[in-house]
Structure 1
Amino acid sequence: MCTRVLWPDANGSVLTGRNMDFRFDLQTNLWALPRGVKRDDGVAGELSWSAKYGSVVATAMDIFSADGINEAGLSGHILWLAESNYGARDESRPVLSQAVWLQYILDNFATVAEAVDWMNQTQVQIAPMVDPTSGVEPALHLALDDATGDSAIIEYIDGKLNAHHDRSYTVMTNSPPFDQQLELLKGYEGFGGDKPIPGSTVASDRFVRAAHYAARLPEPSTQLQGIAAILSVMRNAAQPFRTPDEGKPDASQTIWQVVADLTNKRYVYESTTRPNIVWVDLTDLDLREGAPQLKLDLQSKLALQGGIAGNVSSQFADSGPLNLLTIPVMNELLAAAKKKS
């Protein structure tokens, strides 16, 4: 469920791509979020802040920041990791709900190093949530990358924060945890071993395949060539639509892909069910403090006959603020659903 690839030397640009793999449509829209927006941790409101940086994010059901880029060129990507365990609540440490985790990073930091330093110093905890629409509690990890080409993979294993921080960490998928993925990679051709490049959609195979093709990308001569090149890698690591195998009713498929140009501040989105590519240039957006939060309603605009394509920076509209799901609201929704059943 999901693949992320960082290309730190695309002829002077830093590009990152990700596939969103999930078993159902996440009703994703894009949001332009200006500086100065006030938010809190989504748990008890003990940690609150005003956004230092504006950002563009791709949401899940307009209640969860799943992917995005800020105006400083820091990008983040939430992926699934079944082994995630955030540990018992420690009241001495700050906490962020899963829904606001990425947004806090984009709001407050310009580089991977800044974000990792803060997480290591505070030992911030992540509060798991239950998706009110499905009853599933997500198990998540986070990839970060920035305009310098730096990278980090943030995981919580057995309640412990593991921040894998190194510019060489250009690929991330799902299980097993990142340190084990690196060990498995060593067994394949080109990475120290003699196994051929694998072809299945298993996360460990996608990890190898993405690393293999990302290392062989030709230098682009234009921004368009660079974006097309990294999209070709993401498509190679994508999961096709399929009937789930026996005993695996929740098999995922790739539902959308994004590419973030961290140097030129462009965010590219492609749906696999509404296949027009659209992009947003952050420099075309009003991200000044006091500007409204704007939404690009992909659910309706991509479904129109002919849809939308190309630069859609001017098509964001004010439909009210983005309200990320909080744990108190989640509990209310779950209680209401329980009463109905």
Structure 2
Amino acid sequence: MTYPTSDGQYWLARTMDFGFELGGNPVVVPRDYPFHSVTGATFTTRLGFVGAGAKMNDYILVDGVNEAGLSAATLYFSDEAHYADTPSDDRLNLASFELVNWILGTNRTTAEVQAHLDQVQIVNFALPQMDGNIPLHWIIADRDGHCKVLEIQADGVHWYDDQVGVMTNSPDFAWHRQNLGNYVQLSNGSAPDRQFSDYTAREIGPGSGALGLPGDYTSTSRFVRAAFMRANAPRVPDADAANTVNHLLEPFDIPRNIKGQANGEFDYTQYRGYMQMSNGTYYFQPYQNSNLSAVRLTEALLNKDAVTTFPVARKQDVTVLN
């Protein structure tokens, strides 16, 4: 979800929920970095960026923010995504899991991404470690508060204005947005008394305005829950936003062994990532450690010749008070 602060700053925050161990850590990709795609294509970044990633074929990032304040994140789009089977001769051919690198490495705003989309073609290429093509769609936001969703389906490329400010996995964004019509009764207050014939029913404890808010781990329910929470969240100054965003994402954490897949594997929240778009800072919180680690883009990092990786401890620190 995106989060606007009371003093005009913007964040993009996400949970990374997956069964396959991604092994991601905060990484900084510098300016002028030559990226080598699994398709055989290459491109050179003109903007540096920071996000969560790992070295696979090249460095793969699934979310991040660049020095111009543009941020992006991938989300799973199973049974919906549709990519080209053959490379194009006049476009940059990339696999789906490489698009964040191009978005952040070559664009400054969501408007630039939209204008440059015809320069890129997403091709069906397998990530070697996962032995298969990865169906994805993308949420993209910039420091001016614009939030978009990019989806590539059988009927073409879809570029949505995301007025809700949230996105989850399949189905497509248009479906999620329309489904909010089933929850227009929700509020963050109390429901009024209800008369049942001669009996007056009153709420049992506060919070009855949110009765019916879905709490399961399906992407459809999480979209509704995220939309409700974002719409009702307090707007705090940027100095306090990391704490607020952290609390907003907590209800979406998936513990191990809770969300099973048909193949017997279990998704879980491998990390949370928070992107502060105005100052180019990436916050990372792994499953095993509730402490936030932050990396801010600096000129020294942006001008390095190589990618910088910041390993984060996977062990919870406990302060003993006595």
Q: Structure 2-normalised TM-score?
A: 0.82
Q: 1:296 aligns with which of 310, 313, 319?
A: 310
SS at match of 1:286: helix
Q: 2:234 aligns with which of 206, 214, 218?
A: 218
Q: Could you report, residue by residue, the CA deviation over 1:154-205 in whole angstroms, capped at 9, with x for unpaired residues?
A: 1111162111134x1410001111111111112103579x982111110000
Q: 1:65 aligns with which of 61, 68, 74?
A: 61
**Which residue in 2 is equivalent to 1:234?**
249
Q: Could you report, residue by residue, the CA deviation over 1:250-271 in whole angstroms, capped at 9, with x for unpaired residues?
A: 3311110011111122210001
Q: Give, in angstroms, the shift of residue 243 of structure 1.
A: 4.7
Quote the Cα distance in structure 2 between the aligned partners of 1:113 and 1:287. 23
**Which residue in 1 is equivalent to 2:296?**
281
Q: Give, in angstroms, the shift of residue 247 of structure 1.
A: 4.1
**Which residue in 2 is equivalent to 1:128?**
124
Residue type at the aligned position of 2:45: A
Quote the Cα distance in structure 1 between the aligned partners of 2:252 and 2:53. 22
Q: Give, in angstroms, the shift of residue 305 of structure 1.
A: 8.5
SS at match of 2:257: coil
**Which residue in 2 is equivalent to 1:86?**
83
Question: Kindly tell me: are residues 244 and 292 of structure 1, through their superposed partners in 2, closer, same or farther at Cα, counting changes over 3 Å?
Answer: closer
Residue type at the aligned position of 1:209: R
Q: Could you report, residue by residue, the CA deviation over 1:108-130 in whole angstroms, capped at 9, with x for unpaired residues?
A: 111011011111x44x3212332
Quote the Cα distance in structure 2 between the aligned partners of 1:229 and 1:208. 19
**Which residue in 1 is equivalent to 2:116?**
118
Q: Give, in angstroms, the shift of residue 244 of structure 1.
A: 5.2
The reply to whether residue 39 of structure 1 matches residue 35 of structure 2 is: yes
Quote the Cα distance in structure 2 between the aligned partners of 1:208 and 1:305. 31
Quote the Cα distance in structure 1 between the aligned partners of 2:315 and 2:28. 22
Quote the Cα distance in structure 1 between the aligned partners of 2:110 and 2:26. 23
**Which residue in 2 is equivalent to 1:329?**
none
Question: Kindly tell me: are residues 92 and 190 of structure 1, through their superposed partners in 2, closer, same or farther at Cα, counting changes over 3 Å?
Answer: farther
**Which residue in 2 is equivalent to 1:106?**
104
The reply to whether residue 51 of structure 1 matches residue 45 of structure 2 is: yes
**Which residue in 2 is equivalent to 1:272?**
287
Tell whether the 8 Å contact from 2:3 to 2:10 is kept in structure 1 after alignment: yes
Residue type at the aligned position of 2:123: A
**Unpaired segments of 5 or more residues in structure 2?**
188-209
Deviation larger for 238-247 or 263-272: 238-247
Quote the Cα distance in structure 2 between the aligned partners of 1:100 and 1:164. 21
**Which residue in 2 is equivalent to 1:7?**
3
In the TM superposition, 1:147-296 aligns within 5 A as 147-158=143-154, 160-166=156-162, 168-189=163-184, 196-223=212-239, 225-243=240-258, 245=260, 247=262, 249-283=264-298, 285-288=300-303, 291-296=305-310
Deviation larger for 150-159 or 13-22: 150-159
Quote the Cα distance in structure 1 between the aligned partners of 2:299 and 2:43. 25
Tell whether the 8 Å contact from 1:80 to 1:174 is kept in structure 2 after alignment: yes
Quote the Cα distance in structure 1 between the aligned partners of 2:176 and 2:32. 39
Quote the Cα distance in structure 1 between the aligned partners of 2:122 and 2:139. 15
Q: Provide the aligned C-alpha RMSD in A.
A: 2.6
Q: Could you report, residue by residue, the CA deviation over 1:219-267 in whole angstroms, capped at 9, with x for unpaired residues?
A: 21352x2111112121112222225558452331111001111112221
Tell whether the 8 Å contact from 1:86 to 1:159 is kept in structure 2 after alignment: no
Q: 2:139 aligns with which of 143, 161, 182?
A: 143
SS at match of 2:282: strand
Residue type at the aligned position of 2:88: E
Tell whether the 8 Å contact from 2:83 to 2:122 is kept in structure 1 after alignment: yes
Quote the Cα distance in structure 1 between the aligned partners of 2:18 and 2:261. 18
**Unpaired segments of 5 or more residues in structure 1?**
308-341
Quote the Cα distance in structure 2 between the aligned partners of 1:114 and 1:106. 11
Q: Could you report, residue by residue, the CA deviation over 1:9-41 in whole angstroms, capped at 9, with x for unpaired residues?
A: 443210110000011321112211211112254
The reply to whether residue 20 of structure 1 matches residue 16 of structure 2 is: yes
Q: Structure 1-normalised TM-score?
A: 0.78
Q: Give, in angstroms, the shift of residue 279 of structure 1.
A: 0.5
Question: Kindly tell me: are residues 196 and 155 of structure 1, through their superposed partners in 2, closer, same or farther at Cα, counting changes over 3 Å?
Answer: same
SS at match of 2:100: helix
Q: Could you report, residue by residue, the CA deviation over 1:117-157 in whole angstroms, capped at 9, with x for unpaired residues?
A: 111x44x3212332333424311111111100111111111
Quote the Cα distance in structure 2 between the aligned partners of 1:199 and 1:213. 12
Figure out how many residues of one structure are paired with residues of the other and give that number: 292
Tell whether the 8 Å contact from 1:32 to 1:285 is kept in structure 2 after alignment: no
Tell whether the 8 Å contact from 1:6 to 1:17 is kept in structure 2 after alignment: yes
Question: Kindly tell me: are residues 285 and 256 of structure 1, through their superposed partners in 2, closer, same or farther at Cα, counting changes over 3 Å?
Answer: farther
Percent identity (aligned): 24
Tell whether the 8 Å contact from 1:87 to 1:158 is kept in structure 2 after alignment: no
Question: Kindly tell me: are residues 197 and 61 of structure 1, through their superposed partners in 2, closer, same or farther at Cα, counting changes over 3 Å?
Answer: farther
